[in-house]
């Protein structure tokens, strides 16, 4: 089946007399493309570019510095997913703060953080809420549980972001050189197809929601090329076994009940209008910034780090002068090298695979 699809891709590419650049928006897709050696199966003239779909990578320096400042309060316990621990801020990470005495605990779910709050009623327990539309409904559900159970010492620091507004902002900027988009399967399982319609209607670019197996990704590439050859621009769903066109209406409902859109700072990209999620006014008492709001200066990106250009698809990780030298997963300079979903980390791990 893979060989058949690969042959069809080659056939379609021969009908397109130019280089075709496709952006895989999701960090998990980047990992899968590297792991499966997808680039080796594509003909000359098809380039895959990474996008801004790694929540760890796009968490701003200021957000990391803010949560570190909050962690220094003696009556605070910070809870976070493990891959947020080593994300560099303006000089330190949560891991550094923990080694200096801050009470910072790794959890696997916001519900774990809620249990810590229940067991430590004399402390302010803060969940560092990073992620996209995939995790926001679970955080909303956890806040609902805290409200109903009367656990009043549970807070969140929301740095949630949403994918469609970020793609629109990048397309408007002119920085995105993609001819089509491989859209994220996990996010799309929540929001469905409709939020991406602007890509086709306003920018006339084809896009396909795909899964994460090699055949999923290759089929998605084939479907995009078919659109290009036929002069079409549609939002298609290859991942129908998981993603419903309408998405998960219940998950979207609870997310919208507790959160509303806000402007958000994306690391290496800047402030993108309407691309964040903040708690609605009636739930602001669950926002730690309503209680503790440290004055944290704007941090600067590390010198010579190309993470921002990688997230915008302008550069490949290997185009950064720090890649694999000053910046490695063991000693990351930029956030793209921290998470397993980060483009730089994925390229570094799979250096045995041809990546250019």
Please report the DSSP string for 37-101 in residue order.
Answer: THHHHSPTTEEEEEEEE-HHHHB-HHHHHHHHHHHTSTTEEEEE-GGGTT---SS--HHHHHHTT
| Strands across the sheet containing 124-129 | 104-106, 76-80, 124-129, 154-158
**pLDDT at residue 356 is higher than 60:** no
Please give the C-alpha separations between residue 135 and each of 66, 186, 229, 277, in angstroms, as whole numbers. 21, 10, 36, 11
Q: In what helix (H) or strand (E) does residue 174 lie, and over which residues does it extend?
A: none
| DSSP letter string, 109-137 | SHHHHHHHHHH-TTSEEEEEE---TTTHH
For residue range 104-133, what is the model confidence (pLDDT) as tens digits?
999 999 999 999 999 999 999 999 999 999
pLDDT category at 351 given cuts 50, 70, 90 is: low
Q: Is residue 267, in this structure, part of any structural domain at all?
A: yes
Indicate which CATH number applies to the domain containing 258.
3.40.50.11740
Q: Is residue 95, in this structure, part of any structural domain at all?
A: yes
Our measurement of the distance from residue 348's CA atom to the centroid of its chain's CA atoms, rounded to an integer in Å, reads: 19
pLDDT category at 341 given cuts 50, 70, 90 is: confident
Separation of alpha carbons 35 and 349, rounded Å: 9
pLDDT value of position 352: 46
Whether the model pTM is above 0.75: yes
Separation of alpha carbons 16 and 229, rounded Å: 7
Q: Is residue 65, in this structure, part of any structural domain at all?
A: yes
Q: Is residue 140, in this structure, part of any structural domain at all?
A: yes
Q: Is residue 122, in this structure, part of any structural domain at all?
A: yes
Separation of alpha carbons 218 and 225, rounded Å: 11
For residue range 172-214, what is the model confidence (pLDDT) as tens digits?
988 888 999 999 999 999 999 999 999 999 999 999 999 999 9
What is the extent of the structural domain holding 140? Answer: 59-162+247-290
State the pairing for strand pair 20-26/46-53. parallel
For residue range 152-176, what is the model confidence (pLDDT) as tens digits?
999 999 999 999 999 998 899 888 8
Q: Is residue 73, in this structure, part of any structural domain at all?
A: yes
Q: Is residue 99, in this structure, part of any structural domain at all?
A: yes
Q: In what helix (H) or strand (E) does residue 296 lie, and over which residues does it extend?
A: none
Provide the CB-side half-sphere exposure for 147 (13 A, CA): 14
Phi, then psi, of 336 in degrees rounded to 5 = -65, -15
Separation of alpha carbons 314 and 329, rounded Å: 22
Q: Is residue 29, in this structure, part of any structural domain at all?
A: no
pLDDT value of position 296: 87
Query: CB neighbours (10 Å) of residue 301?
Result: 18
Mean pLDDT of the 231-255 span: 97
As for how many domains the chain has, the answer is: 1
For residue range 285-331, what is the model confidence (pLDDT) as tens digits?
999 999 998 988 877 888 888 888 888 888 889 899 999 888 998 88
Phi, then psi, of 303 in degrees rounded to 5 = -60, 135
**pLDDT at residue 100 is higher than 80:** yes
- Asked if 304 and 322 count as a contact pair (C-beta separation under 8 A), the reply is yes
Separation of alpha carbons 181 and 134, rounded Å: 19
């Amino acid at each position: 089946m893979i060989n058949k699809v690969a042959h069809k891709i080659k056939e379609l590419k021969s009908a397109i007399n130019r280089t075709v650049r496709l952006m895989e928006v999701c960090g998990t897709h980047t990992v899968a493309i590297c792991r499966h050696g997808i680039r080796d199966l594509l003909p000359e003239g098809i380039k895959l570019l990474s996008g801004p779909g790694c929540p760890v990578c796009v968490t701003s320096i200021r957000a990391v510095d803010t949560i570190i400042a909050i962690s220094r309060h003696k009556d605070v316990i910070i809870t976070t997913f493990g891959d947020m621990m080593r994300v560099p801020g303006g000089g330190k990470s949560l891991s550094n703060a923990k080694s200096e005495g801050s009470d910072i605990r790794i959890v696997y779910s916001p519900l774990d953080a809620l249990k810590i709050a229940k067991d430590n009623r004399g402390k302010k327990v803060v969940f560092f809420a990073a992620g996209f539309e995939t995790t926001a409904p679970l955080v909303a559900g956890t806040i609902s549980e805290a409200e109903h159970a009367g656990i009043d010492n549970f807070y969140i620091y929301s740095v949630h972001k949403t994918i469609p507004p970020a793609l629109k902002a990048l397309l408007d900027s002119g920085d995105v050189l993609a001819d089509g988009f491989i859209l994220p399967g996990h996010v799309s399982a929540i929001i469905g197809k409709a939020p991406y319609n602007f890509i086709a209607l306003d920018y006339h670019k084809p896009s396909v929601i795909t899964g994460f197996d090699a055949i999923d990704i290759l089929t998605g590439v084939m479907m995009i090329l078919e659109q290009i050859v036929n002069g079409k621009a549609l939002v298609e769903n290859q991942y129908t076994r998981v993603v419903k066109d309408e998405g998960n209406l219940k998950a979207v409902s609870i997310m919208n009940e507790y959160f509303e859109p806000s402007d958000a700072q994306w690391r290496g990209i800047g402030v993108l209008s309407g691309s964040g999620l903040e708690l609605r006014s009636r739930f602001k008492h669950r926002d730690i910034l309503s209680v503790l709001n440290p004055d944290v200066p704007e941090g600067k990106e590390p010198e010579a780090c190309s993470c921002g250009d990688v997230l915008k698809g302008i550069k490949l990780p290997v185009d950064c002068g720090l890649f694999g030298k000053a910046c490695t997963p063991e000693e990351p300079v930029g956030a793209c090298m921290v998470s397993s979903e980060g483009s730089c980390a994925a390229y570094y791990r799979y250096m045995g695979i041809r990546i250019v």
